[in-house]
Amino acid sequence: MNPENFTKLNSGFAGQGNRRNRQDVFKEFDATELYCPKCKRAVPVRKRLLLVLPEGDKYEYLCSICLEPVGSKLDKQKQATTLII
């Protein structure tokens, strides 16, 4: 196997993965406004996925102007565990 070929292929794949991942993280723009201590006013926020926990997804809210973290939230998505049988 040609090592040069392998490197090219590998880095191309990683680049694609990174781009898609970043898009996923920042695709949601909440209409929510939160108070930002840096901007000293209510600002539109960006929702960013921080952690995926068994009890739900943990999101962090960033000020869309200065990117300061202004809050976090646990999104409980328990649709898979419907108990109606």
The site for Zn ion (CB under 5 A) is made up of 36, 38-39, 63, 65-66, 68
Helices (H), 1-85: 3-26
Q: How far is the CB of 61 from Zn ion (least distance, A)?
A: 11
Q: How far apart are CA 45 and CA 84, in angstroms?
A: 37
Whose Cβ is closer to Zn ion: residue 14's or residue 66's?
66
CB nearer Zn ion, residue 33 or residue 57: 33
C-alpha 72 chain-centroid distance: 12
Parallel/antiparallel/unpaired status of strands 33-36 and 56-63: unpaired
CB-based contacts of 7, cutoff 8 Å, min separation 6: none
Rounded to a whole number of angstroms, the minimum distance from the CB of residue 39 to Zn ion is 3
The residue number whose beta carbon is nearest to Zn ion equals 63
Whole-number minimum distance, CB 64 to Zn ion, in Å? 8
